[in-house]
């Protein structure tokens, strides 16, 4: 949620004004600049764009309406050709002229770059036509950076000393490289200052080891003369990581390291919004500094996840993770080979490289380091309903009643900040929401749940406010540079910020939660504004002018500085300075809130967090923030979901129908269809427009019926989703995945992000454009069946036109998959009492397999205590076998129906555990249907047909 309303962003980013030495003549007509803003091709993608600089390139300069930040102001004229360029003779130092563009290391990354300023640093200045290549760069003659002094006998460490520091203050003169061959597929190396303690990220990771010995799938080479580290894949010789392309810079508040990549297919590096594939030709410059900002393209958003996955040309995959929580900038440059550069303003270099070789294995290896995701309670898989501004108890009751009266599957009702007394945490407005205790009781009486929002800012001006008074007494608030409680401003007015890295704050937080739970027995908690957000810059009295509030280099970011929309970086916390801990604020609040719910409810906790960091998935779910009610936000939600499944937070979703603005019947219908396949499904909007719950009176009856239909589909497939989340919890696999995770050698799949899969079994092909009645869906070379009737897709390995009427989302099962389903009902509690079903999609050789995980859905110890069931299903020819491989949860699990697709002819007889069973057969779709079964899934099952 929040800050409410639309904003215009002003970016203060490093300047690269490198065109003043060129004599350009423009050869175009002014009407060539009359281009739709969505079709503009950026002509000045590097920093420092200006009106004159743009014209000097023979390009167009035109501000988009409202100064929209993600539309280029400097763009190529129609036809794409810029003006004719004539260059005056330029005397270039021979050392500069011989430096290839892909090896140019930025010598002036901070604002203010000029030719004179560059050369005063002893660096080269030369213009480039390649976006992202610096104009000011170090001379490539080994006179800058570090050299290796010594290498240990076992080549697991090296002593490194500085050659020349460049212009950065407080360089680290001596470094230490430690290499850990931790597993055959995981390499870990750290570059640290052996003489001074620097900040290291306080999350749990495996103890460094050299357990892999000589069994590794990677080779390591240390370049000594000008230090670099090169990592190769043994099987193919592909260079996965190569920092020898330029000098390392390692100063007190500036670390700069670059690597070449063997591919242009890069994914991850969040949290950012845009297409899933980080195409280097777009010159992506990605800032990481948690920020309260409505989701916008190409800016730093709510979280920080410095991990990327790369697909090599032969279909192998690998991943790279930099464990660093400081403000960071990562740049992808379309050089040959592609260059990726990290610039961070603190901490250490702590790298992990994962060799896969499959994409799924890369994610599993990454999560072995950062921790596997939590298993959410089963009720949280259902449909969640919310809005900001119900107006009071009566309106809440009305919405709940109309959903129930119309049989809408619906598990959880939420409240946004309007339920509070003057926006104060751990309070509710007894005037407008006086019936809230009764409403929550009514929800519980109907097997439904209640979740409310909390913001971290605690009002510091309210009288007799226990949360603040006890926080002061316990001394748990973040301090300013002078040692006083830092005061900012959020929804309650002036606020203080709990320091969740302080163990005393966790105790204080739980005490507040227990007191409120005694009044309102909530079931889950939504934590928002936890970047942390601040409506004033830094604090009510501003920030210092010291080197932490004003560092010598600021990564590219919205607002242009570290303190904008948040608290002062110089603030003091229990574990260190906010300068180092900012990106982890929401992460530590998520841990404290997870513990609060666990200790108070004694059941599996559900926490939804806006801001996340590496390993937050162990504790929280995530949603993508305050999106817009438009078709672009619908479509772009897919790569957002895919990214967080790679980041180890698979229980993720976006606000259905959009948060800002007013939705339409068509948009909301299509969004509910897509949202059915968000692992986390919530409808939510702001306080300015009409209701958009499924039975909103502003929707037509046709829309209401279509949304109900898709919600019934959601509840039908929950056993498959729950099993997928269990596998994610135990193995680290993602739930929502891009197609190339299953088909890594299919080049077409590498850029698809308007379709996706649930695990390897279901292919989702939604409508994401207004007026769409068809979908051009790509089907990799495999066997595919329509989920609903079993009809087989005849063509594979190409796009197929699918009909998509307004009440349908196209869904297909991959051959070789068995999907467990369940008869849907109005709540997950009611659905769990219904019969199960199986949908069987065979390969061309008539084989398939699947798994069903089942427990009580709520216990803390169901897995650790072995209180769960696992049933494995296998198809071979015309025999389907169900085997309970784990039976630790005493319950009733009844199989009521089985559908088998791709059966060439109507069987004469179907046998279920030796008894003949009636069946039906659809000759058109070649689907066998068996119903009225009463088979115990906790006993062996054999179904045959002939």
Residues annotated as part of the active site = 528, 531
For 542-551, the CB contacts below 8 A with 24+ separation are: 542/568, 543/481, 543/568, 543/569, 543/570, 544/481, 544/568, 544/570, 546/481, 546/570, 547/253, 548/577, 548/579, 551/253, 551/327, 551/345, 551/579
DSSP 62: -
Are 941 and 886 within 8 A, CB to CB? no
Q: Which two tokens stand for residue 876?
A: 């071979």
Q: What does the alpha-carbon distance between residue 495 and residue 104 come to, in Å, rounded to a whole number?
A: 46
Q: Which residues contact 31 (CB under 8 A, 6 or more apart)?
A: none
User: In whole angstroms, what is the distance from residue 598 CA to residue 595 CA?
Assistant: 5
Within 311-392, residue ranges assigned H as helices are 359-370
Q: Look at residues 931, 912, 936 and name the one whose alpha carbon lies nearest to residue 854.
A: 936
Whether cis (ω within 30° of 0) applies to the bond prior to 271 is yes
**Which of 615, 419, 367, 619 lies closest to 506, judged by CA?**
619
Contact 603, 310 (CB under 8 A): no
Helices (H), strands (E): how many in the chain?
A: 15, 55
| Residue 36 neighbours by CB under 8 Å, 6+ apart | none
584 three-class SS: helix
Distance CA 752, CA 765 (A): 11
How far separated are the first and last CA of the chain, in Å rounded?
Answer: 58
Residue 142 neighbours by CB under 8 Å, 6+ apart? 163, 225, 226
CA atoms within 13 A of residue 253's CA, in its CB half-sphere:
14
Give DSSP secondary structure letters for 228-276.
EEEEEETTT--EEEEGGGS--EEETTEEEEEEEES-SEEEEEES-BS-S
Per-position DSSP letters for 671-723, written without gaps between them: HHHHHTTSSSEEE---SSS---STT-TTS-HHHHHHHHHHHHHHHHTHHHHHH
- Residue 133 phi/psi, 5-degree rounding, is -80, 125
- CB-based contact 722:868 (threshold 8 Å): no
Give the pair of three-digit tokens for residue 884.
Answer: 């309970």
**What is the distance between the alpha carbons of residues 540 and 545, in angstroms, rounded to a whole number?**
15
Contact 590, 527 (CB under 8 A): yes
How does DSSP classify residue 859? -
Write the CB contacts of 431 (distance below 8 Å, at least 6 apart in sequence): none
The two three-digit tokens of residue 623, written as one number: 């949603």
148 and 224 Cβ atoms separated by less than 8 Å: yes
| DSSP classification of residue 556 | S
Provide DSSP, 453-520.
EE-SPEESS-TT-HHHHHHHHHT-BPB-TTSSBP-EEETTEEEE-B-TTSHHHHHHHHHHHHHHHHHS
List, as one string, the DSSP characters of 402-464.
HHHHTT----EEEE-GGGSSTT-TT---TTTTTTHHHHHHHHHHTT-EEEEEE-SPEESS-TT
């Amino acid at each position: 949620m929040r800050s409410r309303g639309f904003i215009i962003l002003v970016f203060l980013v490093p300047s690269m004004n490198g065109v003043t030495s060129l004599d350009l003549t423009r050869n175009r007509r002014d009407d060539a600049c009359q281009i739709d803003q969505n079709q503009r091709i950026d002509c000045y993608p590097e920093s420092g764009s200006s009106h004159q600089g743009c014209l000097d390139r023979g390009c167009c300069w035109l501000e988009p309406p409202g100064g929209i930040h993600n539309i280029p102001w400097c763009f190529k004229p129609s036809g794409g050709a810029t003006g004719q360029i004539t260059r005056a003779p330029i005397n270039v130092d021979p050392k500069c002229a011989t430096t290839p563009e892909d090896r140019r290391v930025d010598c002036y990354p901070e604002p203010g770059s000029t030719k004179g300023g560059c050369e005063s640093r002893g660096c080269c200045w030369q213009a480039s036509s390649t976006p992202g290549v610096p104009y000011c760069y170090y001379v490539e003659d080994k006179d800058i950076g570090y050299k290796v002094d010594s290498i240990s006998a076992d080549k697991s460490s090296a002593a490194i000393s500085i050659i020349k520091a460049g212009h950065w203050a407080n360089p680290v003169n001596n470094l230490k490289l430690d290499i850990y061959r931790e597993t055959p597929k995981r390499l870990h190396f750290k570059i640290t200052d052996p003489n001074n303690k620097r900040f290291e990220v306080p999350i749990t990771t495996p103890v460094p080891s050299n357990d892999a010995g000589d069994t590794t799938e990677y080779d390591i080479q240390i370049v000594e003369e000008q230090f670099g580290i090169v990592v190769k894949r043994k099987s193919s010789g592909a260079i996965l990581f190569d920092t020898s392309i330029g000098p390392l810079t390692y100063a007190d508040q500036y670390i700069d390291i670059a690597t070449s990549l063997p591919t242009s297919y890069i994914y991850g590096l969040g949290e950012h919004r845009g297409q899933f594939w980080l195409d280097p030709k777009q010159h992506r410059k990605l800032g990481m500094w948690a920020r309260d900002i409505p989701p916008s393209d190409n800016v730093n958003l709510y979280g920080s996840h410095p991990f990327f996955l790369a697909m090599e040309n032969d279909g192998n995959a690998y991943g790279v993770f930099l464990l660093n929580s400081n403000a960071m900038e990562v740049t992808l440059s379309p050089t040959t080979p592609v260059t990726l550069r990290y610039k961070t303003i603190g901490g250490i270099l702590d790298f992990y490289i994962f060799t896969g070789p499959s994409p799924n294995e890369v994610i599993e290896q990454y999560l072995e380091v950062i921790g596997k995701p939590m298993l959410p309670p089963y009720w949280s898989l259902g449909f969640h309903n919310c809005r900001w501004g119900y107006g009071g108890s009566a309106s809440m009751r009305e919405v709940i009643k109309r959903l129930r009266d119309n049989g809408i599957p619906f598990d959880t009702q939420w409240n946004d900040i309007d339920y509070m007394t003057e926006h104060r945490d751990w309070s509710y407005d007894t005037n407008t929401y006086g019936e809230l205790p009764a409403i929550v009781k009514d929800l519980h009486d109907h097997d439904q749940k209640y979740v409310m929002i909390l913001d971290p800012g605690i009002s510091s001006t309210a009288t007799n406010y226990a949360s603040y008074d006890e926080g002061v007494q316990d001394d748990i608030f973040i301090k300013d540079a002078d040692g006083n409680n830092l005061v900012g401003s959020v929804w309650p007015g002036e606020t203080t910020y709990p320091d969740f890295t302080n163990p005393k704050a966790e105790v204080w937080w739980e005490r507040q939660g227990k007191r409120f739970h005694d009044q309102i027995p909530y079931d889950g908690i939504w934590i928002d504004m936890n970047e942390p957000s601040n409506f004033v810059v830094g604090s009510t009295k501003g920030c210092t002018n010291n080197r932490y509030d004003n560092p010598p280099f600021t990564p590219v970011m919205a607002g242009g500085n570290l303190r904008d929309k948040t608290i002062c970086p110089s603030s003091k916390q229990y574990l260190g300075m906010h300068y180092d801990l900012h990106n982890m604020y929401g992460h530590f609040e998520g841990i404290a809130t997870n513990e609060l719910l666990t200790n108070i409810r004694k059941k599996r906790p559900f926490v939804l967090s806006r801001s996340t960091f590496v390993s937050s998935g162990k504790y929280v779910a995530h949603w993508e923030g305050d999106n817009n009610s438009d078709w672009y936000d619908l479509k772009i939600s897919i790569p957002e979901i895919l990214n967080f499944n790679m980041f180890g937070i698979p229980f993720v979703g976006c606000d259905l129908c959009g948060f800002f603005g007013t939705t339409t019947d068509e948009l909301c219908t299509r969004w509910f269809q897509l949202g059915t396949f968000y692992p986390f499904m919530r409808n939510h909007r702001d306080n300015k427009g009409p209701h958009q719950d499924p039975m909103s009176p502003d929707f037509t009856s046709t829309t209401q019926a279509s949304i109900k239909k898709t919600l019934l589909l959601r509840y039908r497939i929950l056993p498959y989703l729950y099993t997928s989340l269990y596998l994610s919890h135990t193995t680290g696999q993602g739930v929502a995945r891009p197609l190339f995770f299953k088909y890594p050698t299919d080049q077409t799949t590498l850029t698809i992000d308007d379709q996706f899969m649930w695990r390897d079994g279901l292919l989702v092909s939604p409508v994401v454009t207004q007026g769409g009645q068809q979908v051009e869906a790509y089907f990799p070379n495999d066997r595919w069946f329509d989920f609903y009737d079993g009809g087989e897709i005849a063509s594979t390995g190409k796009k197929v036109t699918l009909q998509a009427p307004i009440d349908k989302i196209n869904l297909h099962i991959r051959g070789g998959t068995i999907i467990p389903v369940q008869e849907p009902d109005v709540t997950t509690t009611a659905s769990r009492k219904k019969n199960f079903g199986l949908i069987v999609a065979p390969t061309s050789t008539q084989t398939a397999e699947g798994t069903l995980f089942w427990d009580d859905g709520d216990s803390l110890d169901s897995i650790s205590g072995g209180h769960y069931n696992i049933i494995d299903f296998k198809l071979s020819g015309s025999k389907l076998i169900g085997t309970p491989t784990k039976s630790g949860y005493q319950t009733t699990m009844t199989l009521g129906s089985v559908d088998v697709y791709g059966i060439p002819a109507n069987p004469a007889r179907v046998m279920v555990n030796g008894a003949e069973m009636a069946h039906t057969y659809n000759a058109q779709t070649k689907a066998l249907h068996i119903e009225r079964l009463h088979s115990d899934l906790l006993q062996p099952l054999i179904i045959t047909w002939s």
